[in-house]
Structure 1
């Protein structure tokens, strides 16, 4: 049976908290490893353990981390989501993975979902990794912003301006809900967002459903899908056809530009893929891709 231990590693001046899963059999060259992290304001306890357990049982080591300012990782102010910092956390995690005993440094891959699905595209375009899985990935800030009603966008913009002023004055962040019901002021407020978000929450320790509002002004400029053409390793795009927060159309367009891209499509929404039958189907597809492109490279 695979084992899990708590580990930490540095990113900037802070410490990142992570789970390290190790499979039973690492082999003479060491095990292939997946670096894994979540999406917008989410933390590893929101179902990433379910994925990592399945991967570890199939022979993969997994390094599953929380971004700085979130979850069990260090950093302050809390709940501040900064794209540049999160990309630096991915790079730090990859660096740390290369130092781990029992891991094959030539077979380190990335697995990211939602906002983290965009991050793995951007990271693989810059760093040498062996394979990538981008699940229901956020690929285009403009496309995602269009899923938010104009009145809600205006209210988020006002909160973001207040938050940026608070940061300049050294005051605590002004927060906005990550997920909310239709009509509520939240970064995700489509009909499936709030119930879908709740499905990911662990019952014993619910995560904070809020982030610093400043990301509302910066998210438009983040279009990691544009970097898919620069990803030279095999990359799997798991696309939800009825995705209400990370629309499928731009993702499919960007995926077609990846030199070694593979696309799997699912007739579900953004949050459905984490649970139930959709979870089983996506895990099977991801393991088939990884076995072919990451595990098989040991030969």
Structure 2
């Protein structure tokens, strides 16, 4: 599929960079656009391009994908460190990506959808509720409740140590020191890491070997921000925009039961797609084919109708 390098400015003047995908067949009229953002520390090269290419090869639609601020090819604010995730800023950046898409002559301004996976699967629930330019929401293996998710991931006897780490990091940053960081993943389950599950280590360590676009590092503050974040609190306000939520039945990273509880609070029109496997199984292989096929079907009858 044709792919264009793009960049756009956020509302606080940070440059985000990504790719704009279009169908192979030239269409003279403006097309619907799906704005796609990735999960916790992931960059656009980590399967996000596969979803965009498949969707634009199957439908008369464009896809805008980009790296989150401070990650991959995107800049960070001069006053902020790289490898830091502030959920409210990433949500604001999705809205700014929508604005960029609407500014393009080849995009139908009234047909904008948003797609998010994992951490951004939660972001799109928030943005889809509060930004009424959004006409459809696709949320894949979403992180829906930071407090509950944090305390599922972190052993209870480790929480006190993390609270101490959060305090020390705040004091250090206030004194002018660099932001503290921890690994995203670690092979040792007893070591401190942001995503302490075996499948997280396997997934990200494999990608780390494939290039320099992903870095095994995230700021300590990012974890404190995750715990405080409840992106599904407005899920009932997404309606009347259609919602498709994809949940992996054996997901332990963003637990399936938490996602299903959030889904139960969404209003119609909504659709649930349960796929087998764990958190990362829907990104590649035969489950990817099933997953993206359902997303294409949903977009065909909603955004592309």
**Deviation, structure 1 residue 28:** 4.7
**Which has the larger displacement, 62-71 or 21-30?**
21-30
Give deviations 1:215-265, integer Å, cap 9, x for gaps.
Answer: 222222211122110102001000011111111112112112222211000
Corresponding residue for 2:173?
Answer: 167
Corresponding residue for 2:279?
Answer: 270
CA 1:200–1:118: 2 relative to 1, 3 Å: farther
Corresponding residue for 1:247?
Answer: 255
| C-alpha separation in 1, matches of 2:135 and 2:260 | 22
Is residue 84 from structure 1 mapped to residue 109 from structure 2 by the alignment?
no
CA 1:200–1:273: 2 relative to 1, 3 Å: farther
Corresponding residue for 1:209?
Answer: 216
**Deviation, structure 1 residue 130:** 1.2
- TM (norm. structure 1) is 0.93
Is residue 131 from structure 1 mapped to residue 139 from structure 2 by the alignment?
no
- TM (norm. structure 2) is 0.92
Contact 2:43 2:213 in 1 (8 A): no
Map 1:1-299; keep pairs closer than 5 Å. Answer: 2-11=1-10, 12-25=12-25, 27-58=27-58, 59-75=60-76, 76-128=80-132, 129-145=134-150, 146-181=152-187, 182-201=189-208, 203-232=210-239, 233-259=241-267, 260-296=269-305
| C-alpha separation in 2, matches of 1:258 and 1:27 | 35
CA RMSD of aligned residues (A): 1.6
**In structure 2, the residue corresponding to 1:214 is in which secondary structure?**
helix
**Deviation, structure 1 residue 202:** 6.9
Give deviations 1:66-117, integer Å, cap 9, x for gaps.
Answer: 1111111111411111112111111110111100121111111001000000
Unaligned runs of 5+ in 1: none
**Which has the larger displacement, 255-264 or 236-245?**
255-264
Unaligned runs of 5+ in 2: none
| C-alpha separation in 2, matches of 1:8 and 1:173 | 27
Give deviations 1:13-58, integer Å, cap 9, x for gaps.
Answer: 2111111111134645411111011111111111111111101112
CA 1:240–1:133: 2 relative to 1, 3 Å: same
**Deviation, structure 1 residue 165:** 2.3
